[in-house]
Structure 1
Amino acid sequence: MLSACASHGTRKVSAMHEVDYGQLRVTEHRGHDDLLSAGLGLAGLAGPPSPFANPLHPAAEELRRRAIQTSWKGIADLGPLGGYGRVYGGVPDVPGREYQAFARIPGARSPHRVLLQLPDGFDRSKRCLVVTASSGSRGIYGAISLAGAWGLPRGCAVAYTDKGTGAGYFDYADDSGVALDGRRAKRGEAELEFQPPPASPTAGVAIKHAHSGDNPEGDWGRHVIQAAQFGLAMLDRAFPVEAPFTPENTKIIAVGISNGGGAVLQAAGLDQEHFFAGVVALEPNVHVKGHGRALYDYVTEAAVWLPCALSAEHFAPVPLARGPRGVPLPAWPIRCASLRAQGKLGGNTVAAQAEQARQYLYARGWTDEAMQTAASTTAFDLWRAIAAGYASAYLRRGAANMPCGFHYAAIGAGGLPGVADPMTRAAWWADGSGIPPGNGIGLFGGMNVSTDPTLVGSECLRALWTGDDHEAQMLHASVAATAARLPRKTLPLWVLHGAGDGLLPTAFSSEPYVAWLRDEGRRPIYWKVPHAQHFDAFLALPGFGERYVPLLPYGYAALDRLWAHLYEGSAWPLDAPVPAARPRGPAPLERGTLGL
């Protein structure tokens, strides 16, 4: 409605649906506050959690500051050896305004949060709108270290979507959720980011990604397009004399990382009318029907098999694959014994069983490099956490009837389900990752009383993929809805992925997607970056930084090349040599290490 009031009668209307949003929140960010770091600067972002004056009732600006800090720390390597701000990237002070609302996909039960960051230095001579989607299941600022850090200092406006995920957790214990400003509010007191159907106070905690009933992943591309349309409408509002802002006069650059990378590739497949000027996707969770493997397939496989495989001597030198005495983590050899008892493995020693498990995964497309870095994901029990949340989303379940007996609840006394600490609950929107466990919320259920208690739940989740009953068929249908479509031939498109990615292995995601595009006559640029893995933030962990390089600088480089093509007349390269990166080693990162 705001866009229509500010527009001229000659505005060209896109065939794509206009964004549908409700209440609009506009805030100013200047002085000791800004768009990129909320006034913290690089040192503050890397420091301890930004404090609250009243932890029971944090102010909206305090929640925003901590949400931005949490999002930076979740993606970028801000450690003293990582080189951020010295070798690549930076966190300059960028004053400006934010426009935020809840937007809706037609037919969806729950909204997705959209946000436009408009710098005071917006370059009206080079109209630029960067649009992005959160990585993982993070909240609205989840991609700020990529899209915001590159676009805002350049004078671009940056539009964000949480793509139907985020930490708008709803706690049935006090019937509260998250309002537009990030603060807690009771059902009926305000419009909430996520408001599930009423249930008993003992129903636990409901998570938007898992429990919205919408299978949001199937609409990630539409979320990205709606965020871009919201950005254009807010530019119309900010500069009514220069309106309308349209794809014809404003270059829209879509960029994302991980799940956000998959989201912008989904959006690229929906764009047949030159809506986007270019797309850059880092380590995307992308699925192509009949090519590669879907995330749920290899995540549930990893949850069952990787604990045993990583017990193999082959992985002895790998960080997080061994305990302090150089032996496998205690639960991992037990997994080997469980699989042997089921007849899935032979051999009378852990070494023999682990090697068989490794060979099984190798035959399924896993590489040693992917398995090595997957040790971190396995040690942190992320496979089971991801699978439980995604299964619930795909089957459109609520908090009280998640598949395989899982449920989320606040962690009480003795680690049992209980009532959330009020201070922890008040900070959920700022601190949460979008998929528990974490921040005082546990993943319960899916276990039995045995020496290998998590196996029963992992095998149940796996059976939803390998089975053929009604639930398995429904899950497969939901996964099929997430498949990317073919982008237009003229779209500049760049895909980057770490060769050592152990969460979204290239063999299952980027490589089959790029091969499919090339088979269909497209010319994407593909960088499989040596010695890069999925989590730049993990490079601060002992043993990680020495072995790997961060992926973010390569994303910035691709965006630089796209900018030069769009605004400086440089030819779009038909190909670009993959940088000859080398491991960082124990010393601080240097530019030459990146091979750029």
Structure 2
Amino acid sequence: MTDFLLASDVRETAHRGDDDLLSAGLGLDGLRAKAPVFAVPAAPTPQELRRRAIHANWNGIADLGPLGGYGTLYGSMPSVPGREYQAFAKLPQAAVPFRVLAQVPDTFDAGARCLLVAPASGSRGVYGAIALAGAWGLPRGCAVVYTDKGAGTGYYDFEAGTGVALDGTRAPRGGAPLEFAPEGPVAEGVAVKHAHSGDNPEADWGRHVLAAARFGLAMLDRAFPQSAPFTPRNTRVIAVGLSNGGGAALQAAGLDGDGVLSGVVALEPNVHVEGRGRALYDYATEAALLMPCALLDARFDATPFARLPAMQSAWRARCARLRETGWIAGADVAAQAASALERLRASGWEEAALATAASTTAFDLWRAVAATYASSYRRAPTGAMPCGFRFAAVGADGAPADAAVRAAWWSDASGIPPGAGVALLGGTDASPDPTWPGLDCLRRLWSGESTDARAVQASIAATVARRPRVGLPVLVAQGEGDGLLPIAFSGTPYVKALEEAGFAPVYWRVPHAQHFDAFLALPGFGDRHVPLMPYGYALLDALWAHLSAGAPLPASRRFDTTPRGTAALDRGMLDL
């Protein structure tokens, strides 16, 4: 059993009619439209914040574009009335709380009790898994409990002295329980829970998931007292997540000695196995340095995002800097790019992952991820992030973000700046390759022997996933074109480790699938890829059939997928 404390009262709200559980009343058309606006931009209501958070998290995870097939080939968007129960919870050893939120549909099937536990993807807020867990579970009469797993979008604003209250609104320190209010001296800028909590939340992902499961069961007791108690013995509890959420589900599987979980489904998991694969921080800092140069190789001439004009000068300067510092060889850019590419291949990068890593590089995600994770691993206070980085509230015009932008952080942000009016600053110089100093420093935290480096390395070692208990169904799916969490570094090493230990996980490899289904709506990108979400729904279908009716689990397999090109997706392209 995972012990946890409630760090706040439980907030119960009803969501029916034009404010349901699955889409906050927006429906598929509303989710495809622009984000809902606030009546008073600087003072949104809790209902407005919730609706916009649900819109943002759907669009941040799923491909809702007209060619992608959502709602016709796979998935659905019915109106699901019900109740929500939300609280701040806290692990006994933690410094700050994490957010938990249980959705209980009015159609909950008490005769086939089902609870999905859904840790957020990435560092997103508490609705970060709604497009996977909510969309599959709520229409089937399952309850769903979400958790931000110690990250989330409860940013603390030092200038205003405000954080995020339980209802999503901004509140001053001391005025209400806050999602995150950093301890220590007052600093400048913005504090982000993932980076500044002091807790290394990634090491506790599994505990967050198991604690969320206990919270969900307790909320079912509250919702249906006549049918209580709800326990792991009489309620099927399924952990499901994608990306960091998938890694959290697998971490929970390795800690579940009490048998809380009935099964686990993990998509594109960020999972670290001791002695196998590579840790995210390792390959992210490597890619941040090498990838800009490698992408200048001629093989990427037709690759989406590899030839953005604004990037080319800095990427050529990166080649020169890598050669000067001995990372690569070559007398000209072409030779240097080839050398950088070969170095990536030698460290395990596969061709399909290299191609889609162009988008990760163009959007500067490697630097954003590495700076945030380094701060978390170092347990750094807000004013002392490693390598000179800091977060600041900056608007689109470069001026300080206004009150309306700050009010929307909880609903709009992804949990890792930059974005939503929070900038990643520092770690730069005035050279033609301005981001080199910070990136080189971040890499040395992985490869070096300084006090800071040893602290970072110890925190990464604490994130290793353990083996699940014997008999627990574990189902994993990952795209072979995942350019953020390459399959060779994450899903495959985890599955192979289990197989060699005598386990029989289900492993689905999906060619032409990459990390961000939401990117498939971008012109020229979705043409080359298939969505991964349909395979997550299919794995949940298969696991439920196994748990409820004794059907055999599906076989591990590699699918025969076909990119959709410029036309609409056809189900046959998925080989499902």
**TM-score grouping bracket, smaller chain normalisation:** over 0.9
1:123-142 deviation line (CA, Å, top 9, x unaligned): 00000000010000000000
Distance across 2 between alignment mates of 1:172 and 1:271: 39
Q: Deviations along 1:470-509, whole A, 9 cap, x unmatched?
A: 1111111101111100101201110100000000001111
* Residues 414/155 of structure 1: CA separation in 2 closer, same or farther (3 Å cut): closer
Comparing 92-101 and 235-244, the one that deviates more: 235-244
Q: How far apart are 1:412 and its partner, in Å? A: 5.7
- Secondary structure (helix, strand or coil) at the match of 2:302 reads coil
Aligned-pair distance for 1:356? 0.5
Is residue 328 of structure 2 the alignment partner of residue 330 of structure 1?
A: no
Aligned partners of 1:19 and 1:226 also within 8 Å? no
Deviation at residue 222 of structure 1 after TM alignment: 0.3
Amino acid corresponding to residue 50 of structure 2 in structure 1: R
1:177 aligns with 2:157: no
Task: Indicate conservation of the 8 Å contact 1:224/1:267, yes or no.
Answer: yes
The letter of the residue matching 1:581 is T
- Partners of 2:382 and 2:237 in 1: CA distance: 37
> How far apart are residue 219 of structure 1 and its match?
0.3
Q: 1:210 aligns with which of 183, 195, 204?
A: 195
Give, in whole Å, the separation in 2 of the partners of 1:343 and 1:115. Answer: 50
Correspondence for 1:225 among 191, 210, 213 = 210
The match for 2:221 is: 236
Contact 1:19–1:227 (8 Å) recurs in 2: no
The one-letter amino acid of 2:272's match is H
What is the CA-CA distance between 1:19 and the residue it aligns to?
A: 5.2
What's the offset of the Cα at 1:531?
Answer: 0.6
Cα RMSD of the aligned pairs, angstroms, is: 1.3
1:41 aligns with 2:27: yes
SS at match of 1:100: strand
Letter of the 2:281 counterpart: Y
Q: Is the 8 A contact 2:13 2:83 kept in 1?
A: yes
Are 1:392 and 2:372 matched, yes or no?
no
TM-score w.r.t. the length of structure 2 is 0.98
2:44 aligns to what? 58
1:135 is aligned with what amino acid?
S
For 1:68, give the aligned amino acid: I
Give distance in 2, aligned partners of 1:310 and 1:222. 39
Match in the other structure for 1:360:
343
Length-normalised TM-score, structure 1: 0.95
Partner of 1:10: none
- Deviations along 1:496-533, one digit per CA (max 9) or x if unpaired, are 00000000001111111101000111100111101100
CA gap 1:270/1:401 in 2 versus in 1, 3 angstroms: same
292, 295, 311: which one aligns with 2:296:
311
Counterpart of 1:148 in structure 2 is 134
Q: Distance in 1 between matches of 2:286 and 2:87?
A: 38
Which amino acid in the other structure matches residue 135 of structure 2? Answer: A
Within 2, Cα distance between the matches of 1:531 and 1:344?
A: 31
- Does structure 1 retain, via aligned residues, the 8 Å contact 2:6–2:87? no
Q: Kindly state the Cα deviation for residue 346 of structure 1 after the two structures are TM-superposed.
A: 2.4
Query: What residue in structure 1 maps to residue 334 of structure 2?
Result: 351
Aligned to 1:165: 151
Q: 1:288 to 1:471 in 2, by over 3 A?
A: same
**Aligned pair 1:101/2:81, yes or no?**
no
- Is 1:441 matched up with 2:426? no
Deviation at 1:273, TM superposition (A): 3.0
Q: Contact 1:169–1:205 (CA<8 Å) still a contact in 2?
A: yes
Residue in 1 aligned with 2:566? 586
Q: CA offsets, 1:390-435, max 9 Å, x none? A: 00000001111000000000116963xx643100000000001001
Distance in 1 between the 2:274 and 2:163 partners? 36
**1:3-82 aligned within 5 A:** 15-17=1-3, 20-82=6-68
| One of 255, 264, 268 as aligned partner of 2:240 | 255
Evaluate the alpha carbon distance shift between residue 577 and residue 414 of structure 1 in structure 2; reply closer, same or farther with a 3 A threshold.
Answer: closer
Structure 1 unpaired stretches of 5+:
1-14
Aligned pairs for 1:100-139 (under 5 A) are 100-139=86-125
2:181 is matched with which residue? 195
Residue of structure 2 aligned with 1:404, choices 371, 387, 405 = 387
- Over 3 Å counting, the alpha-carbon distance change for 1:368 and 1:38 in structure 2 is same
C-alpha distance in structure 1 between counterparts of 2:498 and 2:81, whole Å? 40
- The answer (yes or no) to whether the contact 2:11–2:85 under 8 Å persists in 1 is yes
Deviation at 1:238, TM superposition (A): 1.1
**How far apart, in 1, do the equivalents of 2:509 and 2:488 lie?**
11
How big is each residue's C-alpha offset from its partner over 1:559-590, in whole Å with a ceiling of 9 and x where there is no partner?
A: 000111111221224x2433321111110011
* TM-fit CA distance, 1:48: 0.4
| SS of match in other structure, 1:546 | helix
SS, match of residue 23 in structure 1: coil
- Work out whether residues 507 and 557 of structure 2, in 8 Å CA contact, stay in contact via their aligned partners in 1: no
Which stretches in structure 2 are left out of the alignment for 5+ residues? Answer: none
Q: Is residue 319–residue 542 contact of structure 1 (8 Å, CA) maintained in 2? A: no
Q: Deviations over 1:350-399 (max 9, x none)?
A: 11110000000100001121111000010011101110000000000111
Query: Where does structure 1 differ by over 4 angstroms across 4 or more consecutive aligned residues?
Result: none
- Counterpart AA for 1:286: V
Q: 1:592 to 1:203 in 2, by over 3 A?
A: same
1:497 aligned residue (478, 484, 492): 478
Structure 1 residue aligned with 2:553:
572
Secondary structure of 2:8 counterpart: strand
Alpha-carbon separation, structure 1, partners of 2:573 and 2:198: 46
Which residue, out of 452, 455, 460, partners 2:441?
460
CA contact (8 A) 2:205 2:251 kept: yes
Structure 1 residues 347 and 572: alpha-carbon distance in aligned structure 2, compared to 1, 3 A threshold: closer
Q: Supply the distance in 1 between the matched residues of 2:86 and 2:338 (Cα, whole angstroms).
A: 52
> Where does residue 457 of structure 2 map in the other structure?
476
Identity between Structure 1 and Structure 2 (%): 62
CA offset at residue 343 of structure 1?
Answer: 3.0
User: Deviation at 1:328?
Assistant: 6.8
User: Contact conserved, 1:121 with 1:155, CA < 8 A, in 2?
Assistant: yes
Find the residue that maps to 1:352 and give its secondary structure: helix
Q: Could you tell me whether the CA contact under 8 Å between 1:19 and 1:229 is conserved in 2?
A: no
